[in-house]
Amino acid sequence: MQRRRYLKLGAVGLTTAVAGCTADGSGPSTATPTGTDPDRFRVTGEEPTLAPGDFTQVRVSATHVTGLHIGVPIDEDAVEFSISGADVSPTPDRQLDSYPPKWQWDQCADAEAVVSLTVADDAEPGEYTYSVAATLCGTDRDDVEREFTVTVVGD
């Protein structure tokens, strides 16, 4: 009986760690990785609801990090992030030459990026997932990645 309880708790913990946290779409969604101080580390991404042809700015942020990058939706033809012109603060110490770019800081930072998002005129209604990955300060862990949703509604 005790063994079942531990397995159940482990499954819930693993599911939470893998899936991340999302909000109801009414504003930014925040995720805090397990085993970190929630006052020191947080990943936030906006979850807009748009119609085909719409355009908006999306703000993502992470606290107490040395690296940040945005993973674009698989269906870039429907939902396109313009990351090359991102407004990143504070100014990164370096940017890795990749797509999407990865911004890095030598010291711990509370980082924020604002990127443009355009929904294609012929985009199908539905949910499109993008991710935000951050490298925690003071750890040798790989990036912690959280997913957020862009909802496209019909005309």
**Six-digit token string for 131:** 């991710």
Q: Where are the domains of the chain?
A: 2-152
pLDDT at 23: 34
Residues 17-42: pLDDT tens digits? 333 333 333 444 444 444 444 456 78
Entry pTM: 0.72
Q: DSSP 3-state assignment of 136?
A: strand
Compute the distance between CA of residue 43 and CA of residue 53 in angstroms, rounded to an integer. Answer: 28
Rounded Cα distance, 98 and 80, in Å: 17
pLDDT, averaged across the chain: 78
- Give the pLDDT confidence of 98-151 residue by residue, as tens digits: 888 899 999 999 999 999 999 999 999 999 999 999 998 887 666 788 999 999
Q: How far apart are CA 129 and CA 75, in angstroms?
A: 9
Pairing type for strands 144-152 and 49-50 reads parallel
CATH 3.40.30.10 fits 2-152, yes or no: no
Mean pLDDT, residues 85-89 taken together: 92
At 155, the pLDDT band (50, 70, 90 cuts) reads low
